[in-house]
Structure 1
Amino acid sequence: MTRPTIAITMGDPAGIGPEIIMKALAHPEVHAICQPLVVGDAGRLRQAGRIVGATIGVDSLADAGAAAFGMDAVQCVDLKCVPEDLPFGQLSPVAGETAYRCIAAAVEIVQAGQAQGICTAPLSKEALHAAGHKFPGHTEMLAHLTGTPEVSMMLVSPKLRVIHVTTHIGLIDAIARIEPGLVERVIARGHAVLVKAGIAEPKIGVCAINPHAGENGLFGHGEEAEKITPAVEACRAKGWDVRGPLPADTLFFLAGRGDYDMVVAMYHDQGHGPIKVLGLEAGVNITVGLPVIRTSVDHGTAFDIAGTGVADERSLIEALRQAVELAPKSQAA
């Protein structure tokens, strides 16, 4: 099978993105499964390479078509947007602007057919906002850049897959936003990506909002019956194996032991907590519903250790694997 080209965005250049990219692309197994094309700043990657003691160099490319993939040098579409004296570990609008430009350029590369997926290193939401780009995160930015009206965040670890009905909004706002149509669309997006990944009849568990799934109205104000049950019933009417609303604490235990292929979480921390307990180094973030494949590390910019060379590249390697798994099937679909 032909190795897909995966566009790797550098993320916030003041964070650990440049370091984990240089570490990850020194692994031969990455090159065995894909053609990694970094979208960022070649000078910053070289700085990061010196910090981590990388033996691989960096080629500065004017465009994606000039890439010559191999183990000798990282292929970088060079946006030339990072000042040499930009410090690591400090929030800045310059770094936020760079992160935005990396994403925008990667979308153009994929849309032009020069790459089959995007894998993102972390950015700082605060730096992004300081640069004037008022997006809550990668997910919403990619939806805007691709003209996609609605997408979902899915987190994947070796033992658990979680898709979110709501993400970067407050808990009170999240509960207000949840409604049967939204829940049904999120379940449908999750079902579709699992089928494309080779799970013909996925088992999907849907979290309740309240403790004990509301205990028949004892907890909450009937949110389960009003907001979630109609969506579950609509999905079951399609012949899908969807169950819920279920108490979240029990559901995550059952999913972790393999009873479910995916959990539908109602809000950010309900889904993120269990995944992160299993280990940040193994977690991958997938944006579901975009016209392009996008995976990401499941950790932040780690400004506190940026520039020290100690950042762990394993989540990025796993995110690249997930992008490769999804890209060929999506092309064939």
Structure 2
Amino acid sequence: MRITQKVRKILSNYEADSIGVKQNLARILMHGKLGGTGKMMILAVDQGFEHGPRAFAMTPAAYDPHYHYQFAIDGGMNAFAAPLGLLETGADTFLGAVPTILKINSGNSLFGNDNAPDQAVTASIDDALRLGCSAIGFTIYPGSDMSYEQIEELRELAAEAKACGLAVIVWSYARGALSKDGETAADIIAYGAHMACELGAHIVKVKLPTAHLEMKSAKSLYEKYVDVSTLSARVKHVVDACFNGRRMVIFSGGESKDVTSVLEDAQAIVAGGGFGSIIGRNFFQRPKAEALSMAHEVVEIFRQKR
């Protein structure tokens, strides 16, 4: 695998990591249609665990895990992220075809809104190694009453993963002691992203931030020093919060939206200096031909050719 100068520059920011970790980061960064550009587009399919099989009802072929593996390949993704059971179904069939990320904790929609937001650890580092994964993915909920326990779980799993040469991707979704608007507020998204970096994440996944400001203690500072007037400006602020771009931050596709909105999001991510997108429902809840066409357009935007 020949590594581009752009990817080498990104890897140079991970000064304390082993060659094994950097090799796995390089596998992700060098794979797919965006390979070598420093940008990423990752397919994430954990909605079956999170929301139930109803997530696949509008695209019946998507009940089959092999559909998602093949989509990640056909769509030119940098990597494919999913929970243990889904990855196990195609680990041999798609051996070496696309870097994989084991989503190592998960929640479910039966848990109930009256409980503190939390996820259970559903797989192990040994599972990630057995399946030949390049990275693990772990969700934290800053603001939840369970967040300190999650942070301690992440500390142990991240240390084990790094010792084994695996990269660590942290999904950082603020929940709990916040308003609904606060979960995607510019100050909260930046805080959650920064927290993930402080916890040792190599790659951070967050939602796209809105212009809303949640914390009273931060509002006056933001109004004076931080531009949150446009989505690209808010993306830039989140990148700044990730150690001034020394840690890669990618943005979730979120709930299903029209193609124009997905492409506008991608343009804002590029303009703000983000490293890419991690998309699930906005791909697999569409007819495959339409989803592949949209993936191609996102790639062109990230290549800054559109």
TM-score range, shorter chain: 0.3 to 0.5
TM-score norm. by structure 2 comes to 0.36
Q: Which has the larger radius of gyration?
A: 1
Larger RCO (CA within 8 A; separation ≥ 6) = 1
Q: Which has the higher strand share?
A: 1
TM-score norm. by structure 1 comes to 0.34
